[in-house]
Amino acid sequence: MEVIGKQSSELKLFDKSFSLDNTREHRHRIIISPYQVAGVIYGEDNKIYGLYRLPLKQNKEDIFTKAVSDVLRTNNWFNPPYKSVDIYYCGGRLTLVPEELYNPDETITYFKFNSRLSNEESVMSELLSGTNIQCIYSINKTLKTALEDRFTNLSIKHQFSLKLPFVLDITADKSPNVFIHLYSGNFQISIIENKELLLYNEYKYLRKEDFLYYCLNSMEQLGLNPEYTTLILAGNSIEMEEILKLMSEYIRTVKLLEFKPKLHNPSFLSQIKVHEQMYQLIGV
């Protein structure tokens, strides 16, 4: 799990009314990936009390768990109890299986069709909300145990379970939409048509030309015409503007993600770009 390229800067925003002594009625959403730990603390009225993004300082899988643990240990808003702690994880490998073909007893077998399973990993599965797709993924055992020991009222799900319902909702038109969430050196691609998922994949890249190849090749596999396909970009990569300009030369409609966040705080939203903080701001 090598992290390539320059990483984005950290972000820490907290409402003046937020107190570590008064968190039991707040919910805490934490997004963990090989590149960063990000999250949002919000109330029952969807008001945001805290919003953060903390890049991970690591480049090998064997220190991924330590890098995450260091972030949790050195930032005090991870310490108090919350009404719920929802962790969305993206660090292992992922397999998608139609619900009608899914047998819970064969979960590990499905996973091994596409990926190698190491002794350090556990396999988890969940039905993606609003779909008939089972998401099967691996998670580091040590990290999973550390999260379960640290947090109460905890749920762990894959990051895709947060993203896919949102992407299906915003791509309501019948024409094909390519949705890309971009990190520095890595991107996740989802292709949607007629509100159905046609393709999901994740790629590493060293050069912008590699990014271009993977994206156009994914579209070509499905026979998508760049003249009639919309490309939507999200993420907080420092290369976003360059990627946006490059892709506009090959695809007619290329745009940054725009949406009205269900989680809100005017003072926060005036300081950020919503396409950079998608996972923290979308509803569930």
What pLDDT score was predicted for residue 48? 95
What pLDDT score was predicted for residue 38? 96
What pLDDT score was predicted for residue 3? 34
Q: What type of residue is 86?
A: D
Cα distances (Å, whole numbers) of residue 81 to 85, 148, 153:
9, 13, 8
Contact (Cβ atoms closer than 8 angstroms) between residue 32 and residue 90:
yes
What pLDDT score was predicted for residue 65? 87
User: Residue 279: which H helix or E strand, with range?
Assistant: helix 278-281
What pLDDT score was predicted for residue 8? 61
If one counts every other C-beta atom within 10 angstroms of the C-beta of residue 99, the result is 11
Contact (Cβ atoms closer than 8 angstroms) between residue 277 and residue 242:
no
Dihedrals φ, ψ of 75, to 5°? Answer: -125, 115
What pLDDT score was predicted for residue 5? 42
The C-alpha atoms of residue 55 and residue 223 are separated, in whole angstroms, by 37
The C-alpha atoms of residue 27 and residue 48 are separated, in whole angstroms, by 10
Contact (Cβ atoms closer than 8 angstroms) between residue 71 and residue 143:
no
Q: What is the mean pLDDT for each group of 10 consecutive residues in the chain (284 residues)?
A: 50 95 97 93 94 80 82 96 96 90 96 91 93 94 94 95 91 86 88 93 90 96 95 90 94 94 88 92 79
Q: Which three-class secondary structure state does DSSP give residue 25?
A: coil
- Domains in the chain, CATH or no CATH each: 170-256 (3.30.420.260)
What pLDDT score was predicted for residue 284? 59
What pLDDT score was predicted for residue 2? 32
The residues that bridge with 214 in the sheet, in sequence order, are none
Residue that the structure tokens 């399973």 belong to: 117
Q: State both tokens at 16.
A: 């003046």
Cα distances (Å, whole numbers) of residue 100 to 49, 104, 111, 181, 256:
41, 11, 16, 29, 35
Report DSSP letters for 61-93, one per residue.
GGGHHHHHHHHHHH-GGGSS--SEEEEEE-SS-
Contact (Cβ atoms closer than 8 angstroms) between residue 220 and residue 246:
no
